[in-house]
Structure 1
Amino acid sequence: MTAKFSRAELAAAFETFEQTVAQAAASKDWDAWVGHYTPDVTYVEHAMGTMHGRDEVRPWIRQTMSTFPGSHMTEFPALWTVIDEDTGRIICELDNPMRDPGDGTIISATNISIVTYAGDGLWSRQEDIYNPMRFVSAAMKWCKKARELGTLDDEAAAWALEIGGAA
């Protein structure tokens, strides 16, 4: 099987993708990130379902990243990546650290993402694989720490009350 895309092209496209995600995380403007997908992208998010096309991904990511706990995640760096030239995929572990609750504590959860390259800097598929309970646990830990430090905001407090009964 001959690889459709070179390792260098895959690596460069993923580096650009990561830079765009970093800019989106900082600015909270997710449209540029969505623009890195093909118009007919398939996005598999195990806890939220499968989305088809940018028009389904865009409102989902805006909602996810504008409400707790997503709104308190500061960046999404790849901890490691595997470039699979034969399939045109990047497989990576992404970190999802939450903002400092006030004492320098880093609270995070990770996920595995598989992104499939379509060429021209666009990705045709992404699948995020993770244990949702690890994310709930990390968010609850953040809420408890923020409450201890007096930095728990109303949105996070309401989430903690709804999900776990208290923070």
Structure 2
Amino acid sequence: MKNIIVGLLTVVIIGLMGYTFMGGGAYHGGEYGKVIEDFGDTMTAGKTVAIEEKDDRKKEMDKLSALRDKAGSAGAFKVSNEYKSKCASCHGVNGSGMQNGKPMMGPKIFGQSAEKLYKDLVEFKSGRKENVVMKGLLIPLSEEDLKRLADEIGEFPARAEAAKQ
């Protein structure tokens, strides 16, 4: 009995598939497919004209604004390549924890003392403070490397002041 019911359902499903296939419609680019294309053309026609109407000055200002946003505060003061490669992607190029006005993954480290930073780095490396990313970055570094990074980050406020002058 089950086999008969399954067989009938299979025949019905195959029949419906055949009926849909024979109907054309959007499946084969028939008349329903063309209606969708026409609808898309009418929706984008007005937008295309609006984009093309921007004058050259506006385009240049948009480009300049995009460059300023992209640059952020990268030129505020110099940082080492070690800081750039290990810390800047999470804490920002200047340790502010912000990039283009948006918070980053890492917290603000700008303005912290070198001693506190060194203590935190040692605790992250040892596992007393839990952060997988920090531990992974700090494991290959020596105590001297940690001290050098902490000293550099501790100097950020003084470097920022010097860069303003």
TM range (shorter): under 0.3
Higher relative contact order (CA 8 A, sep 6+): 1
State the TM-score, normalizing by the size of structure 2.
Answer: 0.28
State the TM-score, normalizing by the size of structure 1.
Answer: 0.28
Greater Rg over alpha carbons, structure: 2
Of Structure 1 and Structure 2, the greater strand share is in 1
